[in-house]
Amino acid sequence: MERLLMELSVENFRSLRRMTVPVEPLNVLVRPSGAGKTNLLEVFWFLADVINTDLQPAIDLRGGFSEVVFWRGDKRKPPTRIHMKLKATWTTNSSTSAPDGYLLRIGHTDRGLTRRGSFQSKRTRGGGRRIAITGQKVSVVDSGADAGHQQMGINAFSSGLAALPRLSEDRGGTEVTTVARQLASFRVFDVAVNAARQPSLFVRRSFEALDDDAANLAGFLLLEAFCPGMSGRIVEINDQVRLRGASQQNLSARVSKLASLVRARAAREGTDLACVFVREDLDRVDGSEYDAAPARVQAALAKEFGSLHYVLSVWEIEACLLLFPDALTGGMKSWKAPAQYRDRDTGTLSDPKKILKHKFGGAPRRYRESDAPEVLAQAVALACVHRPEGTNRSWQQLHTDAVECCRAHLSSRGRAR
């Protein structure tokens, strides 16, 4: 029997109020913008995260229950439960007339998350088998002539299936493991065409953890330029939490949330955590604030992470791009590099993005933020990254931290993050 996903049903997940979708080997989603196509695909990724990281981290990765539950857009209270159900022919004895079934019900009360779930499969002989998960209790119920009922316990907020492979074969462990592996293998690509179209003259290999919209290409370029051995070991978490300007109380809470996201992502990737780079923009020129801000944030981050590098960029990445005028002009022949911007401390230049737009760029096109990966690609190709024309403290700090991480962790099996 071919292993196929047959049907997906979902209720109260993001913009999906209630939907049942038959699934074929090839499926094409055609709906207007905003109709929920992306959220339908997100269901698959969510289920994979539930299996790989358990329920609570999967919810936290998406900002909490209130961010994933269906919202009507009016003053009525949102639902308190999310339902997801799958039908498939994944296990050995399943068929289209007797498919495997997986049901996950997530609730939210004043006490936190609740979970109910069940897994149903066909046995070799006799009737079917149903494994029900309620809270921290698991019931294995067999039907037919050899009907029976057994119970066991699991951790609170476990996804159920993630913990159940320890079941013995006669209790359904093999079937549960099969379904868990299928769910964990889901991967969704929602490609941002403009980001993915950026020139990739340097890319001769695949990046294991390049974002699904290819928007984090610049970050990969920087770290791999400083430490080529990081290739295929970098995973980026795009979280917009602000640390630099937070009060001490808020800083601790935000760092704790960030740590939860990082550890959940490490579990999703199935690897140990080597080191963590946290990058944030100063949004102003180099000065006294640049000296004071990193120490406070670094101390808070150090309490949660063992090996941690806090990268505070003066202004934004454009301040670093100004260190490589030849890379800027090499990608766009109409661009010129004015002499007054060579051999400068680019961290002291106000609004480097504006400088690139109006002093370097010109007809037929000015500089755009999306040009950053191409410029860095040129800098790598020309070996400019190791001989910048000018200085920038944040660039030098990133270089130092990357080399330190490379030296300390490259020989390990974990991925540098």
Q: Report the percent of the chain where pLDDT is more than 70.
A: 71
> When comparing pLDDT for 119 and 148, which is higher?
119
Which of the listed residues 184, 215, 246 is the one where a domain comes to its end?
Answer: 184
Strands 344-345 and 137-142, by their bridges, are: unpaired
**Does residue 137 share a domain with residue 242?**
no
**Does residue 18 share a domain with residue 159?**
yes
- Tell me the pTM: 0.48
Nearest to 44 by CA among 215, 208, 260, 189: 189
**Does residue 79 share a domain with residue 166?**
yes
Q: Which residues contact 299 (CB under 8 A, 6 or more apart)?
A: none
**Does residue 215 share a domain with residue 86?**
no
Tally of structural domains, the chain: 2
Asked if residue 332 is part of any domain, the answer here is yes
Question: For residues 61, 66, 67 and 71, what is the CA-based torsion angle, rounded to 10 degrees?
Answer: 160
Q: For residues 375 and 193, is the Cβ–Cβ distance under 8 A?
A: no
Asked if residue 416 is part of any domain, the answer here is no
Asked if residue 414 is part of any domain, the answer here is no
Asked if residue 234 is part of any domain, the answer here is yes
One-character DSSP codes across 81-96:
EEEEEEEE--STT--S
**Does residue 264 share a domain with residue 176?**
no
Per-residue pLDDT reduced to its tens digit, 133-187: 665 566 766 665 555 555 555 444 344 454 444 555 555 667 777 787 788 777 6
**Does residue 201 share a domain with residue 176?**
no
**Does residue 385 share a domain with residue 342?**
yes
**Does residue 15 share a domain with residue 85?**
yes
363 band by pLDDT with thresholds 50, 70 and 90: low
Q: 128 lies in which domain range?
A: 5-184
**What is the average per-residue pLDDT within 185-202?**
55
**Does residue 169 share a domain with residue 34?**
yes
Q: For residues 266 and 307, is the Cβ–Cβ distance under 8 A?
A: no
Q: Average pLDDT of the chain?
A: 75
Which of the listed residues 184, 206, 231 is the one where a domain comes to its end?
Answer: 184
**What is the average per-residue pLDDT within 20-27?**
87
Q: For residues 141 and 130, is the Cβ–Cβ distance under 8 A?
A: yes
**Does residue 402 share a domain with residue 309?**
yes
User: Looking at the predicted structure, is the pLDDT value of residue 75 above 80?
Assistant: no
**What is the average per-residue pLDDT within 200-216?**
38
Asked if residue 386 is part of any domain, the answer here is yes
195 band by pLDDT with thresholds 50, 70 and 90: low
Nearest to 277 by CA among 392, 397, 378, 195: 397
User: Looking at the predicted structure, is the pLDDT value of residue 301 above 90?
Assistant: no
Asked if residue 404 is part of any domain, the answer here is yes
CA atoms within 13 A on the CB side of 62: 20
Which of the listed residues 127, 150, 184 is the one where a domain comes to its end?
Answer: 184
**Does residue 92 share a domain with residue 56?**
yes
Asked if residue 396 is part of any domain, the answer here is yes
Asked if residue 143 is part of any domain, the answer here is yes
206 band by pLDDT with thresholds 50, 70 and 90: very low
**394 token code pair:** 């944040």
**Does residue 203 share a domain with residue 344?**
yes
24-33 burial code (b ≥16 CB/10 A, e <16): eeeeeeeeee
415 band by pLDDT with thresholds 50, 70 and 90: very low
